[in-house]
Amino acid sequence: MFTDYNKTINYLFKLERRGIKYNLNNIKKLLKLLGNPERNFKSIHIAGTNGKGSVSSIINSILIERGFKCGLYTSPHISDFRERILVNGAWCSKKFVIDFTNKIDKLIKEIEPSFFEVATAMAFEYFSQKKVDYAVIETGLGGRLDSTNVLIPELSIITTIAIDHVDFLGDTIEKIAYEKAGIVKRKIPVVTGNLKPAAFKVIKAKAEKTKSELINSALKEIKILKRNENGFDFSFEKTKYHFPIIGDYQLHNLKTAITAVEVLSDRNNLSISEDDIQRGLSNIKLNSNFYGRFDIIKDAPKIVTDVSHNEQAFENISANLKYFNYKKLVIIFGMMKDKHYKKCLNILGEIDAKIILTRPLYPRAEEPQKLFEAAKNKSKFIPIQKLDEAFTYVMKSAGKKDMILVAGSFFLVSEFLEIFRKHYK
């Protein structure tokens, strides 16, 4: 019987040792025991290699500003597990996490579900108890056999598709697109984001097979009007908005999210206005706990954190750096073993920066020496085993006009923020 939150969370995280279970058997058993809570609220289901966290957060924030009680389920978290399960921007309570774990502990021991399966069941139960109007649900891995794919949503969204998680999803764009397309349900509209032609073809075929209306947000007109370190002004179909997060790549996410909101509004007669959309964009950090996307956490020297963790995301970094003025740039980089870090290192090698290779204290993190061996232009790279040592090294040498970028993994950013807070309370 659990009574302490930290002990409960440690117990749940130990379930990660069971690995990823890419099927729907356990989640169906868990949800049946709970009375199928996923049927008690309307949902928007989102899959994609990149962008699904941003799109989920934008839609959630807009729905809140429209006046709905809205749940948001995303992963992974940065600082606390409860960041994954929000209702109107508030984390689920520690008491709920403890009570839920105690409630299903016997089943956890019997059927041996994965960490993500338990977390998903927990989120659905929480949203049901809180009687949310809508829940915005982000897939964890793929789509077809992801634990979240027991939903019959109001709308499905597929943001982008790139090579990732090849052990589970396949090693071609077409195979991965097939897995993501698994969230498309019969006669439920599907909105697509910035997809490559090969991926779009697969999604289109699935939409036709399921008689689902397909809306391609990439056809919408959007452009940036003005940029600065606090975000950018942009026009979407001739309407002007401001987004308080930097990054030109966010245009794709904004296009997808706003298109999805318009489709949802028309389908469910929600009358979501342009003012609702702007308030949703302005309050995204408050409503959706949306952090870690080129966030400035300190000035002089400027420290920026970013959770980019694959090749497609790293291709955006050079463009994002144009938003900033700095004298010298230092990048602290660490990535998981199962990621295509060699390609990410090649991208970083083209940037005018000193790059510190390190690792968070997480089992799947790659060793700094192996990262160094995979790098091409080795004169730019310095391996430092521990992240706290990398932090000390960088802060001693950084001038007030320099910039430090921390990127490569949610786990890296999470541990970095812990170290940072100890030094700057």
User: What average pLDDT does the segment 273-297 reach?
Assistant: 94
76: preceding bond cis by omega (within 30 degrees): yes
Q: Per mean pLDDT, which range of 14-18, 167-171, 309-313, 371-375 is the poorest?
A: 167-171
* Per-residue pLDDT at 266 exceeds 90: yes
- How many whole angstroms separate alpha carbon 311 and alpha carbon 325? 25
Within this chain, do residues 28 and 78 fall inside the same structural domain, yes or no?
A: yes
Within this chain, do residues 140 and 176 fall inside the same structural domain, yes or no?
A: yes
User: What average pLDDT does the segment 292-296 reach?
Assistant: 88
Within this chain, do residues 148 and 118 fall inside the same structural domain, yes or no?
A: yes
List Cβ neighbours of 250 (8 Å cut-off, separation of 6 or more): 54, 243, 293
Q: Per mean pLDDT, which range of 66-70, 75-79, 185-189 is the poorest?
A: 75-79
Within this chain, do residues 111 and 187 fall inside the same structural domain, yes or no?
A: yes
Within this chain, do residues 189 and 207 fall inside the same structural domain, yes or no?
A: yes
Q: Which two tokens stand for residue 250?
A: 């966010």
Q: Which of 238, 266, 288 is the last residue of a domain?
A: 288
Within this chain, do residues 276 and 304 fall inside the same structural domain, yes or no?
A: no
Q: Which CATH number do you get for residue 406?
A: 3.90.190.20
Number of C-alpha atoms within 13 angstroms, CB side, residue 413?
Answer: 25
| 159 in Cβ contact with 44 (< 8 Å) | no
Residue 134 banded pLDDT, cuts 50, 70, 90: very high
Q: In angstroms, how far is CA 240 from the centroid of its own chain?
A: 26
pLDDT in tens, 85-100: 999 999 999 999 999 9
Tell me the residue range of the domain where 73 lies: 5-288
Residue 23 banded pLDDT, cuts 50, 70, 90: confident
- Report in angstroms the alpha-carbon separations of 354 from 63, 229, 342, 389: 42, 22, 17, 16
pLDDT in tens, 144-176: 999 999 999 999 999 998 865 444 565 688 999
Q: Which CATH number do you get for residue 274?
A: 3.40.1190.10
pLDDT in tens, 29-61: 999 999 999 999 999 999 998 899 999 999 999
pLDDT at 100: 98
pLDDT at 123: 98
List Cβ neighbours of 81 (8 Å cut-off, separation of 6 or more): 9, 12, 97, 119
For residue 380, the 8-state DSSP code is G
* Per-residue pLDDT at 255 exceeds 60: yes
Within this chain, do residues 248 and 387 fall inside the same structural domain, yes or no?
A: no
Within this chain, do residues 307 and 395 fall inside the same structural domain, yes or no?
A: yes
| 142 in Cβ contact with 168 (< 8 Å) | yes
Q: Which of 288, 307, 326 is the last residue of a domain?
A: 288
- Look up residue 167 and give its amino acid: D
315 or 243, greater pLDDT:
243
Within this chain, do residues 407 and 263 fall inside the same structural domain, yes or no?
A: no
SS3 content of the chain, % helix, strand, coil (to 5): 45, 20, 35
pLDDT in tens, 117-126: 999 999 999 9
252 or 424, greater pLDDT:
252
pLDDT at 171: 66
368 or 320, greater pLDDT:
368
Q: Which of 270, 288, 306 is the last residue of a domain?
A: 288
Within this chain, do residues 366 and 250 fall inside the same structural domain, yes or no?
A: no
This prediction's pTM: 0.90
User: What average pLDDT does the segment 245-253 reach?
Assistant: 92
pLDDT in tens, 304-328: 999 887 787 788 888 889 889 999 9
pLDDT at 166: 46
Considering its fold, how many domains does the chain have in total? 2
Within this chain, do residues 27 and 154 fall inside the same structural domain, yes or no?
A: yes
Furthest-apart CA atoms within the chain: distance in Å:
60
| 358 in Cβ contact with 390 (< 8 Å) | yes
pLDDT at 310: 76
- How many whole angstroms separate alpha carbon 329 and alpha carbon 339? 24
Within this chain, do residues 358 and 322 fall inside the same structural domain, yes or no?
A: yes
Residue 72 banded pLDDT, cuts 50, 70, 90: very high
- Tell me what the pLDDT averaged over the chain comes to: 93
- How many whole angstroms separate alpha carbon 93 and alpha carbon 91? 6
